[in-house]
Amino acid sequence: QSRGAIFDLDGVIVDTARYHYLAWRRLASELGFEFSLADNERLKGVSRARSLELLLEAGGLSLGVEKKAALAEKKNRWYVESLARMDGSELLPGARDYLLAQRAAGRRVALGSASKNAGMILQRLGIAGLFDAVIDGTRVTNAKPDPEVFLLAARELALAPADCVVFEDAAAGVEAARRAGMRVVGIGDAAILRDADLVVSGLDRLLPAASVPTA
């Protein structure tokens, strides 16, 4: 029985994976190439800078450092714009209840996200107070699949990696969790999250069924 639960943010707690994709697709289109949902799978879980590298690779482009910094900033501006009206209604099904259930069960709860926008998103969703530790893209130097983000989360929870379970929607995140020596629950498609210990379609699937009123 694990004592700590570490959650990825984008695609696990909130449906921002879609907004990331739309912003990258818009950038690709400005650069003159198509970028499909299937192409986008490799970008999930990895840092903004690494995502841009993968996008440019898909478009067969090689650009200089300054140009890349400007493009990453532009993508982020579009992404942040798309979050402007975000509120608790964009939490994925079961996310809030599952976080509450983990806390009620006495588990320590951390966020382990690659996003530099994670703090702002937690505030907007009104769930910042549900985490005992928040590790995001502003606090790590090595992006997933490097295990740094999860190892730091375990350390801040004062738990051994083997006492933690990770919830992840990205193949890079599943790999990071395994390299950290943690068990991992994949959220999404079992064909993509092959290396997870268990795969479910969403956190709602891990909640006990709502009781049915009898009267």
- Which residues of this protein are in contact with ligand BG6, per CB under 6 A? 9-10, 20, 43-45, 47-48, 51, 76, 113-117, 137, 170
The two most distant CA atoms of the chain are separated, in Å, by 68
The whole-angstrom separation of Cα 117 and Cα 17 is 13
Pairwise CA distance, residues 125 & 134, whole Å? 15
Q: Cβ 86 to ligand BG6, closest distance in Å? A: 13
Distance CA 123, CA 129 (A): 9
Nearer to Mg ion, 27 or 149 (CB): 149
Out of Mg ion, ligand BG6, none, what residue 117 binds, judged by CB under 5 to 8 A for its kind, is ligand BG6
* Contact string (CB under 5 A) for Mg ion, positions 160-179, x = contact: ---------xx---------
- Whether residue 118 contacts residue 136, with contact meaning beta carbons closer than 8 Å, is answered with yes
Tell me whether residue 168 is annotated as binding.
Answer: yes
Based on the residue annotation, tell me whether 10 is a catalytic residue of this protein. Answer: yes
Q: State residue 185 phi and psi, 5-degree precision.
A: -100, 120
| Annotated binding-site residue? 8 | yes
Report, in Å, the least distance between residue 1 CB and ligand BG6.
Answer: 28
Q: Which is nearer to Mg ion, 130 or 187 (CB)?
A: 187
Q: Which of Mg ion, ligand BG6, none binds 193 (CB below 5-8 Å, type-dependent)? A: none
Residue 208 CA to residue 147 CA, distance in Å, equals 31
Q: Which amino acid is at 115?
A: S
Dump the DSSP string for 143-160. Answer: -TTSTHHHHHHHHHHT--
Contact of residue 76 among ligand BG6, Mg ion, none (CB under 5-8 Å per partner type): ligand BG6
> Token pair for residue 34?
């198509």
Binding residues (CB under 5 A) for Mg ion: these are 8, 10-11, 169-170
Catalytic residue numbers, as ranges: 8, 10
Annotated binding site for Mg(2+): 8, 10, 168-169
